[in-house]
Amino acid sequence: MVAVTCLALVLSIWTPFAFAAASVQMVEGSASNINSWAFMPAEVTIAAGDFVTWKNSGTLAHSATADDGAFDTGLLQPGDSLNVTLSNPGTYAYHCTPHPWMKGTITVTAAAAAPAPAAPAAAAPAAAPAAPAAAAPAAAPAAQAQPTPTPFRFLTPTPFVSRPATTTSTTTGQTPRTGGLPLELALPLLAAGASALGGGAYVLRRGRRR
């Protein structure tokens, strides 16, 4: 609390935030010098809505009366005090009714706007659930190697060539040649040929004898 002490009326001022006070005292001073009687401090500034406290610390009754009638403490006896709230901005001149040479001024300023409450922080949006990881596609089965088909080859038949019967040698230990004929066919032919040859030899021998 800030206090200004003088010899007369005490003026106190409180703000709704800091409750600071200013005091003005009045003292008659010398009875032979009434000009020494005054409100101290003579000028005070407050914010709209604050109140002023006047306190008489002299030996005579005093008042704080607005020139335009906005407020009036009435007579305050020595040691008395009174609070007056001023809500309208402006300048108020006042005086002491029994001692009009005692004058003061109060300036009321517009009240400071109270700070706006901080806006609540917006809630952060809930994180979207993570999308499930897509399952990897199953690997395609490895293609089985297909066997390469072996081309079919048609065997060219060997043409059958008919060969004339040949005279087989009767040499011991040699296999008779059939000329490509089956043995069961070749043997009769060979036998017939041998018989024919034998007959011819017989004719030749008879001819030579003649």
More confident residue, 4 or 103: 103
pLDDT at 59: 87
Per-residue confidence band for 16, with pLDDT thresholds at 50, 70 and 90:
very low
pLDDT at 36: 74
Per-residue confidence band for 117, with pLDDT thresholds at 50, 70 and 90:
confident
Dist CA 40 CA 22 (whole Å): 10
Nearest CA-CA partner of 16 in 113, 93, 82: 113
Instruction: Give the HSE-up count for residue 15: Cα atoms under 13 Å, Cβ half-sphere.
Output: 15
Query: 198-207, pLDDT tens digit by residue?
Result: 655 554 455 5
Query: 59-83, pLDDT tens digit by residue?
Result: 889 999 999 999 999 999 999 998 8
Q: Which of 162-166, 171-175, 183-187 is the least confident region?
A: 171-175
What is the phi-psi region of residue 79: left when phi exceeds 0, alpha when psi lies from -120 to 50, beta otherwise? Answer: left
Q: What is this structure's pTM?
A: 0.47
Phi, then psi, of 41 in degrees rounded to 5: -80, 155
